[in-house]
């Protein structure tokens, strides 16, 4: 974990937010390579969930929404985690997670009293993460919605606008709009990528748990009787989509929820083996008709579906897939982190699949003080960059050092322009994983890299 966090910071993937002011808990910034990796992962998700599907369309709903939405969905009352505070040092812990760590089941859906009882029964095994103390306050449910003072000109904030706690509510409340403007037939899905905010009690574990984070969610609307068969299809589809990113199947597993919320038909998480063990990467849930029914009651409007062929009216059931971008970036970094020996030296490199690597190829002039080499290399670089934007120029230090730097950020190919290039228009292309080089004519380069990232 420390090695990944340190490489992520040193090489411009992820920085702690507000670092020069001492940081800010639960928030992170993505650096120059992090933003490219993140955007590649989002683009892959969009491709899988929207472009490769005729039955799913996209949406970008706003972060602020009418506060009544969060009441109708149950979030103002029920969107909470159990919290206890260390009486010695006032550190707050998330009780269900602390219990989970010692192998005792409890979850945020349980009543406050029930979790408090389990917590107290196991108190001798739980220690404060900061001071090691074992004297805690009673368990209290803490609401995770983040309030704002948007539009609160009287300063009493009695009806606060929230920063959305999940992106899917924006999808539910636009269900009718999308249905009407696109003339969709069941089953169909609406996909969205966007920021979400939660007042997480104990945001540890790097970008795994942030207070500000991004979600990629797809809500799929079905006829009631097809909910569970579509659910099985979606589970398979999402599992394969994650494997496609280059994650080893051994590091993934399904976890079925033990304690379902009253409306859910079934719920599974795809767990990834993070450095501390298997933990949730993505949720795939069958939600019945709860969401549209709740909003229909909340707004007083029909959110049903009219089937023209059968003449029936009903509220569609929903299955969803929901992934955190930060959790996926973390999983991909952990998966790609590799140490090996090359040419007698140990090296660290990120073994990204070329499709998701932040830099696809780096172009080097063999020597930077030879204008004819630099000019030729600049020509190759510009021609490549026109076709493939994630190309990097590097002329810093000797070629060996450049290779190591590119290995550390996971660049699959390094292209060197040397004196032979001036003679015969060939370059060396060095493969990140094997360290082997082959000579290639310049005109073949674009096709070669495009093929690798297809």
Q: How far is the CB of 290 from ligand ATP (least distance, A)?
A: 14
φ, ψ at 261 (rounded to 5°): -65, 155
**Residue number, 7 or 281, with CB nearest to ligand ATP:** 281
The residues, ordered by sequence, that sit 6+ positions from 146 with a Cβ below 8 Å of its Cβ are 162, 163, 165, 197, 198, 199, 211
Nearest to 290, CA basis, from 320, 314, 316, 312 = 316
Binding to ligand ATP (CB under 6 A) within 361-400 occurs at none
Q: Is 213 in the site for ligand ATP (CB under 6 A)?
A: yes
Interface with ligand ATP by CB under 6 A: which range of 40-48, 83-91, 223-231, 278-286?
A: 278-286
Q: Tell which one of 75, 176, 198, 235 touches ligand ATP (CB under 6 A).
A: 198
Q: Which is nearer to ligand ATP, 85 or 166 (CB)?
A: 166
Rounded to a whole number of angstroms, the minimum distance from the CB of residue 263 to ligand ATP is 14
Which of 92, 209, 273, 295 touches ligand ATP (CB under 6 A)? 209
Q: DSSP for 390-436?
A: -EEE--SS-HHHHHHHHHHHT-SEEEEE-HHHHHHSEEEEEETTT--
97-156: which residues touch ligand ATP (CB under 6 A)?
none
Minimum CB–partner distance for residue 330 and ligand ATP (Å): 9
CB-neighbour burial class of residue 247 (10 A; exposed 0-12, middle 13-18, buried 19+): buried
Q: How far is the CB of 307 from ligand ATP (least distance, A)?
A: 30
Specify the DSSP class assigned to residue 137.
Answer: P
Nearer to ligand ATP, 200 or 394 (CB): 200
The smaller minimum CB distance to ligand ATP, of residues 146 and 440, is found at 146
| CA–CA distance, 261 with 43 (Å, rounded to integer) | 32
Query: Is 82 a residue that touches ligand ATP (CB under 6 A)?
Result: no
Regarding 283 and contact with ligand ATP (CB under 6 A), the answer is yes
Q: What is the torsional sign of CA 260, 85, 79, 163?
A: negative
Closer residue to ligand ATP in complex, CB, 194/283:
283
Euclidean distance between CA atoms 149 and 405, whole angstroms: 46
- Stretch of residues binding ligand ATP (CB under 6 A), selected from 208-216, 289-297, 387-395, 430-438: 208-216
282 is a contact residue toward ligand ATP (CB under 6 A): yes
Binding to ligand ATP, residues 288-347 (CB under 6 A)? 322-324, 326-327
Which residue is closest to ligand ATP by CB? 324
Binding part of the chain for ligand ATP, among 43-51, 111-119, 187-195, 207-215 by CB under 6 A, reads 207-215
| Binding of residue 215 to ligand ATP (CB under 6 A) | yes
Q: What DSSP line would sit under 286-319, residue for residue?
A: E-TTHHHHHHHHHHTS---EE-TTT--EEPPEEE
Closest CA to 119 of 133, 132, 107, 131: 107
DSSP 94-129: EHHHHHHHTT----TTS-HHHHHHHHHHTGGG---T
Structure tokens at 75: 């979030």
Query: Rounded to an integer, what distance in angstroms lies between the CA atom of residue 31 and that of residue 427?
Result: 31
Write down the least CB distance from residue 38 to ligand ATP, Å: 13
Binding of ligand ATP by 210 (CB under 6 A): yes
* Interface with ligand ATP (CB under 6 A): 166, 198, 200, 209-210, 213, 215, 280-283, 322-324, 326-327
């Amino acid at each position: 974990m420390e090695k990944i966090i340190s490489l992520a910071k040193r090489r411009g993937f992820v920085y702690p937010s507000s670092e020069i002011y001492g940081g800010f808990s639960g928030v992170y910034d993505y650096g120059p390579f992090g933003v490219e990796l993140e955007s590649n992962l989002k683009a892959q998700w969009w491709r899988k969930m929207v472009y490769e599907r005729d039955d799913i369309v996209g949406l970008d709903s706003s972060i602020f929404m009418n506060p009544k939405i969060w009441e109708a969905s149950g979030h103002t009352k029920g969107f909470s985690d159990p919290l206890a505070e260390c009486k010695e040092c006032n550190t707050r812990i998330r009780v269900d997670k602390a219990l989970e760590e010692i192998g005792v089941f409890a979850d945020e859906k349980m009543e406050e009293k029930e979790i408090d009882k389990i917590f107290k029964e196991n108190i001798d095994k739980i220690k404060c993460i900061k001071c090691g103390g074992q004297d805690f306050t009673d368990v209290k449910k803490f609401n995770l919605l983040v309030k704002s003072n948007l539009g609160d000109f009287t300063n009493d904030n009695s009806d606060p606008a929230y920063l959305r706690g999940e992106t899917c509510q924006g999808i539910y409340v636009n269900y009718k709009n999308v249905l009407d403007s696109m003339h969709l037939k069941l089953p169909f899905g609406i996909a969205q990528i966007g920021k979400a905010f939660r007042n997480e009690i104990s945001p540890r574990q790097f970008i795994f748990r942030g207070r500000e984070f991004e979600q990629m969610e797809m809500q799929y609307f079905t006829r009631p009787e097809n909910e569970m068969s579509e659910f099985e299809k979606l589970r398979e589809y999402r599992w394969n989509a994650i494997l496609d990113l280059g994650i080893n199947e051994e590091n993934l597993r399904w976890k079925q929820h033990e304690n379902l919320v009253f409306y859910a038909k079934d719920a599974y998480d795809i767990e990834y083996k993070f450095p501390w063990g298997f933990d949730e990467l993505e949720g795939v849930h069958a939600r019945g008709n709860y969401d549209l029914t709740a909003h229909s009651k909340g707004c007083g409007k029909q959110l049903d579906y009219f089937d023209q062929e059968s003449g029936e009216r009903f509220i569609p059931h929903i299955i969803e897939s929901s992934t955190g971008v930060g959790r996926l970036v973390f999983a991909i970094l952990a998966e790609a982190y590799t140490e090996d020996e090359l040419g007698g030296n140990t090296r660290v490199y990120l073994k990204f699949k070329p499709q998701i690597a932040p830099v696809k190829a780096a172009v080097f002039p063999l020597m930077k003080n030879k204008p004819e080499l630099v000019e030729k290399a600049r020509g190759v670089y510009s021609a490549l960059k026109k076709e493939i934007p994630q190309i990097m120029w590097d002329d810093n230090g000797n070629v060996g050092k450049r290779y190591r730097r590119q290995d550390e950020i996971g660049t699959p190919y390094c292209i060197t322009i040397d004196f032979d290039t001036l003679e015969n228009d060939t370059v060396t292309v060095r493969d990140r994983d094997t360290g082997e080089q082959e000579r290639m004519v310049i005109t073949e380069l674009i096709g070669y890299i495009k093929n690798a990232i297809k």
